[in-house]
Structure 1
């Protein structure tokens, strides 16, 4: 016997991701019960997520949960959930900066934040990382505007630009920028940078895996030997970063780094989520790489120096990263010229409201807890 349930829902595109936006008050307090609802409304356990609204891809199997915040410096709380497509598993560990692009508009649309003239600043407290982000949302006439002339790689057309400024990004999960205590580690004969800025990542020079770094996501996904080795390195990196057994977690995220293809870019990247190559790059992953560029000795720093993008002991405040769909530009603000002390990292994203209404999902009358593998936030 199954029971049909329903909750209010707004489906939004945030950056290069898409998914349902829900109110925290409409979901159960228990993380296991919350995960079960998300799995069912997304249709997980089937490659097409045919019985739900997921798009059969990690970029469209994401959920944003938003509520008024009790944090003294925030307007709303934002809990991100990565819902596995094929497996009955929800990961509440990572943040998603692309979905975050739509949190400000959603908060205004649902009355959680009062719109101001021209621009409304929405202060977001991310519950996954316990960090703050400022979202500057265009609100001419005190209405959210989705129309504009801003383009971002990986999304067709133009839309209104939303500025995201990530504050206090260092050590979101590990408490340190370089959680292993050094700029590079050698794992399975490969030089790796383990870094935690906005999200934990492990960076590898693509050439060290016999790659150019400019392969398409489909080419990389069709390279099982490389993917298997990358996963073994990722699991060892997770242990060295103090994250424990990461075999059931999406963190740390692997990033392949290589020299840029032109004079205007800083680096070329291929980002994994973590077992498939991202068709663009995650915002938090881009922040981590942009931060690493100025940290002496990291894989990203060495490649950037060799490519003539900065002096050996220099810092870069504007970073342009190539990814499979184009480019992403970030502004990195260092405190007092210190490469490992980051005040904020800012970038421009876009968002769009797709639908607003009621979403229906089914739950078994006695849900099995064995079906759930959720990570604590």
Structure 2
């Protein structure tokens, strides 16, 4: 023990193209202002450099996952996700992260949090045995399913493998993430919370068509050119984040969508009244290797690569006629089971198959939305475990 600091057990885990501090629920305060303060202090927020914490100054490295054994009959573990702001003194627990979700299964297995009998999972690599882990995501109140490669003898999660993903050097063991049961998690009103394939917003002096989608996450798809953003495929994440005009107009879109959905009263105060969601996803014509070009804006910053939830939502939206994604994607896309999304650091593929009454269909039915397949593959690796230290005056009762 240290005389003036509190040590909290944690593991630093890369999930997909993001990193997060993973905690057992029993080791952190219950939901509320104290937990918020502890998590922000662990990251070193607020500070653009996060120099006095474990955050990495990027939205992809300033994340938290809190895991516990589930009391639900349909789940093995409960997963609470938090996006910790960097320069701003804020944290939000009401979102989801597909990349970080790929680290939940391995963490739960290795920490002995799964009390249900072993269930064999689906394997992307036939040479690997997998374990199915049912994950209850507490923000969207939906079940995610992870198929985690495990060691045949020990049963522990494997990290080594031959699968490569964009934005992550090297290769790893492929973890199949099944998100088909995530429709309507935020607004509980189906895949399109307004009931429309497109809605029109007044942005500045211009009427702009958008699609608001609630699958895996709650985001707004808008053509980049409709916001005056040209050559989307040529823009890096830094190009967008460092452009105050683009950031401001995306904030206006987000604020007005939040206002439309009753999530904020004043669109100009969306950062205070509805932090993080709904987010904004800029889309454009497909690149050479992709079916669509995408740039994801979160907390007024562009994601360095592609969020798993946004990728899932984009692929799901591609099967809904009339949506902005449906209008922008490349010809012949519906014939492919793999939907390739071009992001700043490469391509993210999502396997998608729409269904009507359980039978494969080219497009989804809004009366009874259903997907037979809505999945992507990530890799994950535990980077470190031990304790993260925070000053004892942040959590005196500890």
> Normalised by the size of structure 2, how large is the TM-score?
0.86
Task: Give yes or no for the alignment of 1:357 onto 2:369.
Answer: no
Alignment of 1:67-216 (within 5 A): 67-113=68-114, 118-141=129-152, 142-175=155-188, 176-187=190-201, 188=203, 189-210=207-228, 211-214=230-233, 215-216=235-236
Distance 2:191 2:394 in 1: 46
For structure 1, the 5+ residue unaligned runs are: 368-377
1:7 — aligned with what? 8
Distance 1:329 1:184 in 2: 25
Task: Give yes or no for the alignment of 1:342 onto 2:342.
Answer: no
The one of 242, 255, 272 equivalent to 2:262 is 242
C-alpha contact 2:84 2:92 (8 A) present in aligned 1 = yes
How much does 1:22 deviate? 0.3
Task: Give yes or no for the alignment of 1:301 onto 2:309.
Answer: no
C-alpha contact 2:227 2:249 (8 A) present in aligned 1 = no
Alignment of 1:185-334 (within 5 A): 185-187=199-201, 188=203, 189-210=207-228, 211-214=230-233, 215-245=235-265, 246-248=270-272, 249-262=275-288, 264-304=289-329, 307-310=330-333, 317-334=337-354
2:36 — aligned with what? 35
130-139 or 141-150, which deviates more = 141-150
For 1:230-269, what per-residue CA distance to the aligned partner results, in whole angstroms no more than 9, with x for missing partners? 111110011213323532310111111111122x521111
C-alpha contact 2:37 2:394 (8 A) present in aligned 1 = no
SS at match of 1:124: strand
Using CA pairs under 8 Å that are at least 6 residues apart, name the structure with larger relative contact order, 1 or 2: 1
10-19 or 112-121, which deviates more = 112-121
For structure 2, the 5+ residue unaligned runs are: 121-128
